[in-house]
Amino acid sequence: MQFPRINPVFLRLGPLEFRWYGLMYILGFIAAYFIIRSGVKRKHLTLSKDDVADLVFAAALGVILGGRTGYVLFYNLSEYVAHPLEIFAVWHGGMSFHGGLIGAILGGLFFARKKKISFFTLADICIMATPIGLGLGRIGNFINGELYGRVTKVPWGMVFPGGGDLPRHPSQLYEAFLEGPVAFSVLWLLARKERPEGVVFWSFISLYGLFRFIVEFFREPDIQLGFIVGGFSMGQLLSLPMLFLGLTMIWRSYRKEKLD
């Protein structure tokens, strides 16, 4: 199959270009606002519409700053040390989910402390929006023709621009499906019943770690890094601890509730 070659720019207004990838971020943050508002009402938290907007802004700022910082530190540090001004050239691409997650958590911690709300109560609500943003973001990666998979013989393999003449796994779509609707469905089922505080949040951490670890076997490693240890990519080395940490914290949450 040939890559559909969708124009990554969906609108031009003079010198301004509006890209699908940026639109996916905006749609993700809009969805987050409404999902968090719904969760706040369900949990009977005393947060106004403006409070929710402030929370989304804090998380969004954390995602952008953390995502860029994570990419610089985890994926291309030597290049940015040599060309430090490139750190600020976000339009050249380069965002890390793991860094973005850390940034969003820090933004949430700041907000929760300011409003004197339990962080994990808030995190269980906010994490419901993450699969929406992730799924949209991976579709944006696909439209850009980036982060494509390894060479394959499967019938749905695609020839990506910049990926040579051989068909490759459309790994962006694999991730979009697993990290988007699959992860959201699991979290939604969990959130339907009362759970110990933090269980929904840590469930997402485990799910993402598992899904990303699996999909990395089909995804082409970053060219500047290749395989890091024993045939594992940087994405796998960052994601596997998430799986075990999430499972451990879920177990601790249920154990704590039982002891209480």
160: phi then psi, degrees, rounded to nearest 5: -90, 145
Tokens of 134: 């992730």
Q: How confident is the model at residue 2 (pLDDT cuts 50, 70, 90)?
A: confident
Mean pLDDT of the chain: 91
Amino acid in the structure at residue 17: E
Q: Tens digit of pLDDT for each residue in 78-99?
A: 888 887 887 877 666 678 888 9
Q: pTM for the full model?
A: 0.90
Q: In the prediction, which pLDDT does 172 show?
A: 96
Instruction: Determine if residue 195 is left, alpha or beta; phi over 0 gives left, psi from -120 to 50 gives alpha, anything else beta.
Output: beta
Please check whether residue 149 is in contact with residue 171, taking contact to mean a CB–CB distance below 8 angstroms: yes
CA distances from 145 to 2, 14, 24, 67, 191 (A): 11, 25, 15, 20, 35
Contacts with 52 (C-beta within 8 Å, 6 or more apart), sequence order = 33, 36, 37, 40
| Cα–Cα distance for residue pair 65/162, rounded to 1 Å | 28
| Cα–Cα distance for residue pair 176/141, rounded to 1 Å | 9
Q: How confident is the model at residue 112 (pLDDT cuts 50, 70, 90)?
A: very high
Q: In the prediction, which pLDDT does 93 show?
A: 66
For the ranges 54-63, 105-114, 128-137, 224-233, the lowest mean pLDDT is seen at 224-233
